[in-house]
C-alpha cells in the first residue's frame, strides 16, 4: 500500500480565488506590495546597507505592468520551494523573524493569475550570484532558467493583463490601487510610466498624527468632519490607531466600515468587527503588527488574541468618554445629543459608563422630555411603564397628580430607569401596574358612593362582554371624563377571543380551552372621573337609556383616545351610541321648535 498525493487543479483554485476568496481582483496589487516589502525587510536583516525601494512601471501599449524591489531576491532552490509549491512561505525558515513580514509569497502570487495568463519573475538573490527567470501559467506549468546577463539584487514581476483587466495598466487605476493599499508603507513606492514618475507613500499614517492633523485628514479623505479623535492602543496586540466620532447619528444596524492595516498594508476598508459592537458611533483606522490574517488577507482570524485586542480598544473608547465629561463638558453634551441611542446601549451594558451617562440622557416623562439630572432634582419616587401604551394611558393624569412617570417603552429605557438606585440610594423606582394605577386617586365619601353605585352596576353589566369593569374616583385633570387601563394580559385574552371567532372549529376549541379553562379571565378597568361635569350629569340624570349611551360612548372614546384597536363589536357599539345621542339632540331641538 503506497501513499498517493492529491492532484490539484490550479485553474480551479484560481477560479475559486477570483470568484469567492478575493472581493476585488485588484488585491494582486496588495499581494505584490507585501512580497516586495517583505523582501526588503529580509535583506535588511542580513545587514545589507541599502535603501529599500519598490518600483511599479506601466506599459499601456502592451497591457503589461511590472513590480520591482531591491530586496533579498530568490535562489533557485527557493524558487522551487516557494513558487512551485503553492502555500509555502519564505518566512517559515525563520520563525523568530516572522513578525517583520506581512504575507505569504506563494499564496499571494496566485492572485496574479486572476488578472494575468502568465507571470514572469526575474530575480537575483543576495545570498547567491545567479540571475534567474521563472515563468508560470495558470494551467500549473512553469519554466525556470538561468539568465546570461546579471540583474540587480532583488525581484521583478511582470504581468501581461487579460483583456478584461487591461485598465490596471492605466496610470489613474494603478495609482489608485497603490495608494489604497500602500500609502502608509515606510518603504518608498514609485509609480512610473514613460518618463513620468511619482512616489505614492509620503503620508504620515493617521495613528501617528496629532488630534488637529487627524481631524483635518479625516475631513479631507472621508468628506466629513469628525466630532473628535480617540487614540487607540493595544499593547498585547501591538496595535494602534484612531477612532473618529461620527458627526451624525447611526444605528446598530448600519454597516461598520473600519479600516484595518497589517504592518501598514491595508487589509480591508470595511471591516465591521474590529471594534466592539456597542461602539457604532465611531469609525476606526487601525494598524496591527500581531494579529493573523485569514486566507484572503481581507480580515483577521478571530482567535483569543483578536478578542483581547478588541476589548483593549474598547477600553480606550470608554476611558476617553469618562475623561471628556470632565475636560470638555460642552463637547460631551453634543456627543450625547447626537449619539443618544448608541450611548443608551453602551450605558445599559456597562455599569461604569451607566454612571457616567445616565444623568445626561433624556427620557419621555409625564412632565415632558427631561434629562435625568433634572428628573432626580425634583423627584425621589419614580414610576416607569413597561410599554408605550401604558404610558399613553396615564401620562396626563399622572402629571395632574404630581406623579413622575417615565415611558419605559423605548429600547433600554426600562432597564436604565430600574438601575437608578445603584447610583442614588435615595431614589425609589417602581414599575407601574397600570390596572392598580387608579387606586392612587381620591376615593369618594360614603354618600357619594351610594349615589353612584347604580350607575357603576349598569356600567359593569354593559362592559362585561368586553372584559372591562368600572370604578369611580375623583382625579385631575377634570376635563378627562374616564381613564381606560389595560395591561398586556388583558390584550392577550382579547386577541385570543378574536382568534376564536375567526378560526376553524378545531383551532377555536383549542383557544377556548386555553382561554377559559387554563387561565382566570383578567379585566381592564374604566375609571370614571367624579371631577368631570359630564360624568356627574350622566350619574344624576336617572335616565337609564341616557346613562347606557353615555357609558358606551365614553368607553369607546377612551379606546380611541388611548390608540387601542376596536373590535368589530366595539366599533358597532360606538356608532350606535353616537347615533342615539344625535337622535336625542335632534328630537329635543324639534320639540323646542314647536
247, burial (CB in 10 Å: exposed 0-12, middle 13-18, buried 19+): middle
Question: pTM for this structure?
Answer: 0.71
Encode 110-153 in three state secondary structure. HCHHHHEEEEEEEEECCCCCCEEEEEECCCCCEEEEECCCCCCC
SS3 at position 300: strand
At 453, list the grid cell: 353605585
Query: Which helix (H) or strand (E) covers residue 271, if one does?
Result: strand 265-271
Q: Are 536 and 530 in contact (CB under 8 A)?
A: yes
User: What pLDDT, on the 0 to 100 scale, is given for residue 229?
Assistant: 97
Among 175, 151, 153, CA closest to 58: 175
CA distances from 244 to 233, 258, 300 (A): 14, 10, 21
Residue 252's pLDDT band (cuts 50, 70, 90): low
Q: Pairing relation of β-strands 142-146 and 196-199?
A: unpaired
What share of the chain in percent tops pLDDT 90? 52
pLDDT in tens, 353-391: 899 899 999 999 999 999 999 999 999 999 999 888 888
Phi, psi angle pair for 261, to nearest 5°: -120, 145
pLDDT in tens, 127-185: 888 899 999 887 778 899 999 999 999 999 999 999 999 999 999 999 999 999 999 99
At 535, list the grid cell: 360624568
- Tell whether omega for the bond before 275 is within 30 degrees of 0, i.e. cis: no
pLDDT in tens, 28-44: 999 899 889 989 999 99
Residue 590 has pLDDT above 60, yes or no: yes
Question: 579: Cβ–Cβ under 8 A, 6 or more apart, which residues?
Answer: none
User: How is the chain split into domains, by residue range?
Assistant: 10-199, 206-330, 361-432, 441-487+522-593
The region of weakest confidence among 34-48, 259-273, 508-522 is 508-522
> For the domain with range 441-487+522-593, which CATH number is right: 3.40.710.10, 3.20.20.140, 1.20.120.790, 3.30.499.10?
1.20.120.790
Residue 86's pLDDT band (cuts 50, 70, 90): low
Question: 280: Cβ–Cβ under 8 A, 6 or more apart, which residues?
Answer: 250, 251, 252, 254, 256, 342
User: What pLDDT, on the 0 to 100 scale, is given for residue 96?
Assistant: 40
SS3 at position 526: strand
Fold of 10-199: Heat Shock Protein 90 (3.30.565)
Residue 331 has pLDDT above 90, yes or no: yes
Q: Are 361 and 376 in contact (CB under 8 A)?
A: no
CA distances from 524 to 8, 67, 436, 468 (A): 72, 78, 10, 4
CA distances from 170 to 64, 109, 158, 213 (A): 10, 21, 15, 32
Average pLDDT, the chain: 84
Q: How is the beta sheet containing 404-406 ordered, strand by strand?
A: 368-371, 362-365, 404-406, 381-384, 428-431
DSSP 8-state symbol, 204: P
SS3 at position 495: helix
- Block residue for cell numbers 488637529: 212
User: What pLDDT, on the 0 to 100 scale, is given for residue 460?
Assistant: 94
At 436, list the grid cell: 392598580
113, burial (CB in 10 Å: exposed 0-12, middle 13-18, buried 19+): buried
At 53, list the grid cell: 525601494
Dihedral of the alpha carbons of 430, 431, 435, 439, in degrees to the nearest 10: 10
CA end-to-end span of the chain: 120
Question: 274: Cβ–Cβ under 8 A, 6 or more apart, which residues?
Answer: 256, 258, 260, 284, 286, 300, 310, 313
Residue 11 has pLDDT above 50, yes or no: yes
104, burial (CB in 10 Å: exposed 0-12, middle 13-18, buried 19+): buried
Q: Are 287 and 238 in contact (CB under 8 A)?
A: no
Residue 232's pLDDT band (cuts 50, 70, 90): very high
How far apart are the C-alpha atoms of 253 and 248, rounded to whole Å?
A: 15
CATH number of 206-330: 3.30.230.80
- Could you say which architecture CATH assigns to the domain 361-432? 3-Layer(aba) Sandwich (3.40)
Q: Are 383 and 406 in contact (CB under 8 A)?
A: yes
Amino acid at each position: 500500500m503506497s501513499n498517493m498525493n492529491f492532484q490539484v487543479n490550479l485553474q480551479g483554485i484560481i477560479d475559486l480565488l477570483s470568484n469567492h476568496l478575493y472581493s476585488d481582483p485588484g488585491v494582486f496589487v496588495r499581494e505584490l506590495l507585501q512580497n516586495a516589502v517583505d523582501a526588503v525587510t529580509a535583506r535588511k536583516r542580513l545587514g545589507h546597507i541599502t535603501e529599500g525601494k519598490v518600483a511599479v512601471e506601466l506599459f499601456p501599449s502592451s497591457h503589461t505592468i511590472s513590480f520591482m524591489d531591491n530586496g533579498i531576491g530568490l535562489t533557485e532552490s527557493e524558487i522551487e520551494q516557494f513558487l512551485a509549491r503553492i502555500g509555502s512561505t519564505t518566512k517559515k525558515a525563520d520563525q523568530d523573524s516572522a513578525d517583520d513580514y506581512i504575507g505569504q509569497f506563494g499564496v499571494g502570487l496566485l492572485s496574479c493569475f486572476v488578472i494575468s495568463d502568465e507571470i514572469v519573475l526575474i530575480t537575483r538573490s543576495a545570498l547567491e550570484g545567479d540571475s534567474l527567470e521563472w515563468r508560470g501559467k495558470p494551467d500549473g506549468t512553469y519554466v525556470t532558467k538561468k539568465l546570461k546577463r546579471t540583474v540587480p539584487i532583488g525581484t521583478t514581476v511582470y504581468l501581461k493583463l487579460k483583456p478584461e483587466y487591461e485598465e490596471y495598466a492605466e496610470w489613474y487605476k494603478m495609482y489608485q490601487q497603490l495608494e489604497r493599499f500602500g500609502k502608509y508603507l515606510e518603504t518608498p513606492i514609485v509609480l512610473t510610466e514613460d518618463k513620468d514618475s511619482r512616489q505614492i507613500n509620503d503620508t504620515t499614517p493617521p495613528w501617528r498624527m496629532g488630534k488637529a492633523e487627524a481631524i483635518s485628514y479625516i475631513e479631507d479623505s472621508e468628506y466629513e468632519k469628525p466630532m473628535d479623535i480617540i487614540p487607540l492602543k493595544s499593547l498585547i496586540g501591538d496595535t494602534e490607531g484612531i477612532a473618529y466620532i461620527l458627526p451624525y447619528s447611526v444605528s446598530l444596524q448600519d454597516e461598520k466600515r473600519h479600516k484595518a492595516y497589517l504592518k501598514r498594508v491595508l487589509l480591508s476598508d470595511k471591516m465591521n468587527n474590529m471594534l466592539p459592537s456597542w461602539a457604532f458611533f465611531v469609525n476606526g483606522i487601525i494598524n496591527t503588527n500581531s494579529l493573523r490574517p485569514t486566507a484572503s488577507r481581507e480580515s483577521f482570524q478571530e482567535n483569543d488574541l483578536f478578542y483581547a485586542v478588541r476589548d483593549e480598544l474598547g477600553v480606550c473608547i470608554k476611558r476617553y468618554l469618562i475623561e471628556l465629561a470632565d475636560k470638555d463638558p460642552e463637547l460631551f453634551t453634543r456627543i450625547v445629543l447626537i449619539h443618544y441611542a448608541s450611548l443608551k446601549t453602551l450605558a445599559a451594558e456597562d455599569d461604569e459608563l451607566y454612571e457616567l451617562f445616565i444623568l445626561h440622557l433624556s427620557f419621555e416623562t409625564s412632565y415632558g422630555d427631561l434629562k435625568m439630572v433634572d428628573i432626580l432634582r425634583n423627584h425621589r419616587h419614580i414610576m416607569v411603564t413597561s410599554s408605550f401604551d401604558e404610558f399613553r394611558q396615564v401620562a396626563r393624569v399622572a402629571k395632574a397628580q404630581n406623579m413622575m412617570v417615565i415611558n419605559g417603552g423605548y429600547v433600554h429605557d426600562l432597564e436604565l430607569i430600574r438601575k437608578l438606585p445603584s447610583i442614588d440610594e435615595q431614589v425609589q423606582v417602581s414599575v407601574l401596574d397600570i390596572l392598580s394605577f387608579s387606586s392612587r386617586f381620591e376615593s369618594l365619601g360614603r354618600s357619594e358612593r351610594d349615589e353612584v353605585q347604580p350607575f357603576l352596576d349598569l356600567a359593569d353589566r354593559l362592559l362585561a362582554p368586553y372584559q372591562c369593569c368600572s370604578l369611580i374616583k375623583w382625579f385631575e385633570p377634570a376635563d378627562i371624563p374616564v381613564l381606560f387601563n389595560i395591561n398586556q394580559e388583558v390584550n392577550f385574552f382579547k386577541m385570543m377571543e378574536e382568534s376564536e371567532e375567526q378560526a376553524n372549529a378545531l383551532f377555536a376549541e383549542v383557544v377556548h380551552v386555553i382561554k377559559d379553562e387554563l387561565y382566570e379571565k383578567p379585566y381592564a378597568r374604566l375609571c370614571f372621573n367624579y371631577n368631570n361635569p359630564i360624568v356627574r350629569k350622566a350619574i344624576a340624570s336617572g335616565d337609564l337609556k341616557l346613562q347606557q349611551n353615555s357609558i358606551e360612548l365614553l368607553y369607546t372614546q377612551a379606546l380611541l383616545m388611548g390608540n387601542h384597536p376596536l373590535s368589530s363589536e366595539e366599533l358597532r357599539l360606538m356608532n350606535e351610541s353616537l347615533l342615539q345621542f344625535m337622535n336625542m339632540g335632534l328630537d329635543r331641538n324639534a320639540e323646542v321648535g314647536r
